[in-house]
């Protein structure tokens, strides 16, 4: 299996499909690079090189005790891109991965990144504060941490309903999709799963977003119950002059079903443009 070595020696697993301009995918919490399988095949089938890594502590990557923070995640992504000597890179990030690619592009990606795509991404910042009164209260994230510690297997099963919107009338998302969410979640080390909650909820990406100058597609479902669109995508596009907002009516946080079909078509059109 292919691995690269991060700056602190951590082993980061990745998959590399196809040839052509590289499209690098970053996954959400508590998933792995496998969450992007459909999109990886799509872009590889259409003449691009698709690469997805498992964030440290997730999937098949090393379960490190330290480094479960956004700065290190971005540095790990930099190590992947530099080790593979990738240029003219298109970054694609979902949820936590959206924050990861934004921080990477702002702090490490000069001269390497050509486009950015985010979907249901966490920037600018999720947690409520005096400067971000529209954010979610810290109690929400404390509850996630408590659920992870108490019984993460049941917690991930329950969370999958809001993640995919199966608690909404008319949802067509399968039990199999929810089971796959649980399966990937159970591969995450407990320390990484716990620490990553702080990383995705409390990291402020405002200055990172302001530093972006490449074309950016900001995709978001308007029924996202995990990362509300009003405090995320709608703010992001006001900070990035090169960004275009694409709203998917009724779509949830998880990329599946009709949302996935529409997003994949837009993704392919954007990376080809």
Number of Cβ within a 10 Å radius of residue 222: 15
Contact residues for 128 (Cβ-Cβ < 8 A; gap 6+):
134, 135, 136, 137, 138
Residue 198 corresponds to which tokens in the numbers above? 């702080």
Rounded CA-CA distance 117/268 in Å is 11
Rounded CA-CA distance 25/3 in Å is 16
Radius of gyration of the chain (CA): 17
| Cα angle 240, 202, 157; round to 5 | 105
Rounded CA-CA distance 143/161 in Å is 16
**Which residues have a catalytic role annotated?**
95, 224, 253
- Cis preceding-peptide flag for 124 (omega within 30 of 0): yes
Question: In the 8-state DSSP scheme, what is residue 111?
Answer: T
Beta strands in 32-126 (DSSP E): 48-53, 89-94, 113-119
The closest alpha carbon to 192, from 34, 64, 12, belongs to 64
CB 4 within 8 A of CB 14: yes
Residue 58 corresponds to which tokens in the numbers above? 């997730």
């Amino acid at each position: 299996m292919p691995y690269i070595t991060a700056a602190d020696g951590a082993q980061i697993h990745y998959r590399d499909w196809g040839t052509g301009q590289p499209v690098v995918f970053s996954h959400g919490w508590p998933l792995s690079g496998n969450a992007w399988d459909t999109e990886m095949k799509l872009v590889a089938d259409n003449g691009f090189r698709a690469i997805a890594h498992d964030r440290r502590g997730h999937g098949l990557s090393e379960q490190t005790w330290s480094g479960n923070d956004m700065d290190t995640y971005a540095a790990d992504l930099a190590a992947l891109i530099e080790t593979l000597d990738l240029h003219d890179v298109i970054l694609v990030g979902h949820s936590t991965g959206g924050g990861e690619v934004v921080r990477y592009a702002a702090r490490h990606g000069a001269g390497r990144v050509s486009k950015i795509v985010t979907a249901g991404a966490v920037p600018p910042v999720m947690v409520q504060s005096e400067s971000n009164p529209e954010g979610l209260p810290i109690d929400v994230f404390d509850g996630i941490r408590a659920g992870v510690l108490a019984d993460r297997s049941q917690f991930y099963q329950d969370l999958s309903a809001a993640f995919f919107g199966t608690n909404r009338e008319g949802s067509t998302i399968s039990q199999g999709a929810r089971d796959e969410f649980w399966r990937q979640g159970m591969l995450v080390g407990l320390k990484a799963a716990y620490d990553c909650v702080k990383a995705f909820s409390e990291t402020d990406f405002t200055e990172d977003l302001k530093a972006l100058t490449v074309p950016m597609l900001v995709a978001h479902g308007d029924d996202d119950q995990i990362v509300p669109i009003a405090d995320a995508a709608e703010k992001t596009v006001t900070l990035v002059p090169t960004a275009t907002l694409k709203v998917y009516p009724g779509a949830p946080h998880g990329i599946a079903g009709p949302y996935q079909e529409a997003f994949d078509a837009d993704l392919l059109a954007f990376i080809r443009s």
